[in-house]
Structure 1
Amino acid sequence: MTEKTDGEAIDSGDFRSSRLEKLRGSRVVVTGGAGLVGSRLTALLRGVGAEVTVLDRMDAYPDSVHALFGAERHATRLVVGDIRDRALVRKAMDGAELVVHAAAYADVAACTRRPDIAFKANIEGTEVVLEEAVAARVRRLVLISSAAVYGNGTAASDGPQTFHEDQPLHPLSVYANSKLWAEHQTRLLLGAAGIDFSVLRYFSVYGDPQVPKPGSHSWMVAWLAMHARLGLPMRLNGGGVQVRDLVHVDDIATATALALVEDGVVGATVNVGSGKPTSVRDVGELIAPHFPGSRFITTPRPADDPLGGYADTERLYELMRWRPGISVADGVERYVNWLNATPEALPGWLAEKAA
């Protein structure tokens, strides 16, 4: 019999599954659970036997997109409403043991256009969720933050920067600033109340059935793939030199579920990334061979679009005993195959542009 090394044992699917079994029978609330990440997490939690209440406004996407995400199918209970509605949040948390706070006005460009909405959702809403988590005496809360808090990092360099959790933070956007506030407030409120918490800084999440929104410059895999599928040029803002650490939504869901059971992450802030840099142009070049005749155009880089970097993932590996397993090449191919098999997912506003 061949023995596994410690690293192989830690990364094995069987080991991960055995840890997630601890969630069986747990009562979990996922705010923002009808979005891409939230719905995938809800499906994972239900698959291991947890009871999941999803709290979501259900207005971030058209009904057809929400149907693709499938939160209504997977949730034990769906509560439709705003996280600023204290009575509704209290109702959703009644009897809850665990909370994942993922609800946010999450599009960088949209937050820049409407900082008032970003404040209401990401500041006021988060305050209500945290206060009600304390009142409900939940066992643990996982706050979903973002690599956007790093901005462009702290020093100029010839190559992509590595972002580690303890470095100075320089948010460049309204969205990033709201996430940094949420991190601080989580530590202040839950730490003082003696409730376990952890902060996960997601890097660039992608994967089917992600559908972009008008006027956004996030979600580059979906953006570029859908443009190429429709015969539109793939736009490279600033030439596509921005670096992102792309993490497939399935890996994101796994990391978030593990943060609910792993004691090592209590009180910690953890990067959730692949630890590998990928430029926007790199993504376009992975997509192009799937659509003969694809072409690129260069457009100006928005001021709130950071040059980026990639995650230092040592803390992720040390505290959660796990690493993401889906490569960018495989993940992009999965997305393209899904898109070709699901042409109805192409948003009407983008198809009209192509026509």
Structure 2
Amino acid sequence: MLKNKKILVTGGAGMIGSNIVKKLTTRGAVVTVLDNLSAYPFDYLHEYGVKHIKNVNFVNGNVTNAKIVNGLIEKMDIVIHAAALADVGACVRNPVLEHKMNVTATSNILETCKKHNLEKFIFVSSASVYGIGKSKIFREDQPCFPISNYGLSKLWGEQQSRLYYELYGLPTTSLRFFSVYGSPQVPKKGSHSWCVAIFGMLAKKRKPITVYGDGNQIRDFTHVSDIAEAVVLSIGKKTTNGKFFNVGTGKSTTINMIVKKIFERIEKVPIKYKPYPPGDPLGGYADVTLMKKLLNWEPKLSLDKGMDEYFEWLNENEHLVPKWL
């Protein structure tokens, strides 16, 4: 179904994007990646593998550059929009840049997809849209009250995508990712997200782990391989048009449990507890009823197997552990 389809993946060189690109190319798609390579200080185009994949055209550019974006989209069948200032902490520190990258750029991409009658637009969203929530289980029909501008930008992107389907007939789908982990995840400086990677790398360096709050806050840890599969499956499902839905395992895990599982794989280090940082939600887990209905699919990797995969990768790629950690 995707064979020879021309697909643009914005942010396609990054941790999530590279996994999406690999799944697309194995299905025969002709992929173009647009990425400005600003997320990390190392050569992640090489390290994350996109540089070495056949049938991938790489364009070094920013999603805020309308000329580059318009020139690429007019040649495409499908757009997967994964590029963003994709970190809660970074967005809180840089609200103007966050709006430019996460709102203005998304608006231009949607309008350009409409102009060229693309077959599908996929928007990468986040569970951060829910905010604190009144329940520990997050369902798509619940009200959303984001507590960070990152979460708000994702909520706006979802709703704008929905409107472009309802008002203009552009097939769009938004996927709300829950707590992504797995290879090749490397934490970004100043981030308090991605605790599997941060805690694992700190333990590798024999440094104390910092846990915010009491560690009993919960997340729905979903392996990046399953996240990428959900994105690819949603392309060919007309049932997802105009929809936004959770992508998670439907299982809750405390941060303390993640620490315990890391210590089953790496020798223990001290734990320090600190207050929650601004914009950090207490968390919850996904109601995956709609995901299963729309995709006729559910995630395959258990948390233990997913963490095994990540630490096998980490053992082979210790040179990527940031010096600032």
TM-score (norm 1): 0.89
Deviation at 1:39, TM superposition (A): 0.8
Q: Distance in 2 between matches of 1:191 and 1:204?
A: 29
Q: Distance in 1 between matches of 2:44 and 2:51?
A: 12
Deviation at 1:239, TM superposition (A): 2.1
Deviation at 1:263, TM superposition (A): 1.6
Deviation at 1:175, TM superposition (A): 0.3
1:34-75 alpha-carbon deviations (Å, 9 max, x no partner): 111111100110111000111111111123334221222236
Q: Distance in 2 between matches of 1:65 and 1:53?
A: 16
Moved more, 329-338 or 124-133: 329-338
Deviation at 1:122, TM superposition (A): 0.3
Of 55, 58, 62 in structure 2, the residue corresponding to residue 82 of structure 1 is 62
Tell me the SS of whatever aligns to 1:200: strand
Matched, 1:180 2:155: yes
Tell me the SS of whatever aligns to 1:290: coil
Deviation at 1:348, TM superposition (A): 2.2
- Please tell me the residue identity of whatever aligns with 1:187: R
Could you tell me whether the CA contact under 8 Å between 1:69 and 1:209 is conserved in 2? yes
Matched, 1:114 2:94: yes
The unaligned stretches of length 5 or more in structure 1 are 1-21, 156-160, 351-355
Could you tell me whether the CA contact under 8 Å between 1:79 and 1:92 is conserved in 2? no
Partner of 2:146: 171
Partner of 2:227: 252
Q: Distance in 1 between matches of 2:264 and 2:19?
A: 28
Q: Distance in 2 between matches of 1:211 and 1:65?
A: 10
Of 137, 147, 150 in structure 1, the residue corresponding to residue 117 of structure 2 is 137
Partner of 2:29: 50
Could you tell me whether the CA contact under 8 Å between 2:131 and 2:147 is conserved in 1? yes
Could you tell me whether the CA contact under 8 Å between 2:161 and 2:242 is conserved in 1? no
Of 33, 38, 41 in structure 2, the residue corresponding to residue 62 of structure 1 is 41
Tell me the SS of whatever aligns to 2:214: helix
Partner of 1:292: 267
1:1-355 equivalences under 5 Å are 22-74=1-53, 76-155=56-135, 161-350=136-325
- Please tell me the residue identity of whatever aligns with 2:258: V
Deviation at 1:215, TM superposition (A): 1.2
Deviation at 1:193, TM superposition (A): 1.8
Q: Distance in 1 between matches of 2:165 and 2:100?
A: 21
Deviation at 1:195, TM superposition (A): 1.2
Could you tell me whether the CA contact under 8 Å between 2:199 and 2:209 is conserved in 1? yes
Tell me the SS of whatever aligns to 1:78: strand
Do the aligned partners of residues 243 and 82 (structure 1) sit closer, same or farther apart at CA in structure 2, a change above 3 Å counting?
A: same
- Please tell me the residue identity of whatever aligns with 1:306: P
Moved more, 111-120 or 187-196: 187-196
Q: Distance in 2 between matches of 1:183 and 1:268?
A: 9
TM-score (norm 2): 0.97
Partner of 1:7: none
The unaligned stretches of length 5 or more in structure 2 are none
Could you tell me whether the CA contact under 8 Å between 1:164 and 1:312 is conserved in 2? yes
Identity of aligned residues (%): 40
Deviation at 1:347, TM superposition (A): 1.3
1:95-133 alpha-carbon deviations (Å, 9 max, x no partner): 211111111101000100111110110011111111111
Tell me the SS of whatever aligns to 2:300: coil
Moved more, 300-309 or 288-297: 288-297
Moved more, 161-170 or 236-245: 236-245
Q: Distance in 1 between matches of 2:62 and 2:267?
A: 44
Could you tell me whether the CA contact under 8 Å between 1:83 and 1:128 is conserved in 2? no
Q: Which has the larger radius of gyration?
A: 1
Q: Distance in 2 between matches of 1:345 and 1:110?
A: 21
1:224-278 alpha-carbon deviations (Å, 9 max, x no partner): 0000110011111112222111110100110000010112111111100000001
Tell me the SS of whatever aligns to 1:239: coil
Q: Distance in 2 between matches of 1:88 and 1:170?
A: 34
Could you tell me whether the CA contact under 8 Å between 1:130 and 1:190 is conserved in 2? no
Q: Distance in 1 between matches of 2:311 and 2:165?
A: 42
- Please tell me the residue identity of whatever aligns with 1:130: L
Q: Distance in 1 between matches of 2:167 and 2:311?
A: 47
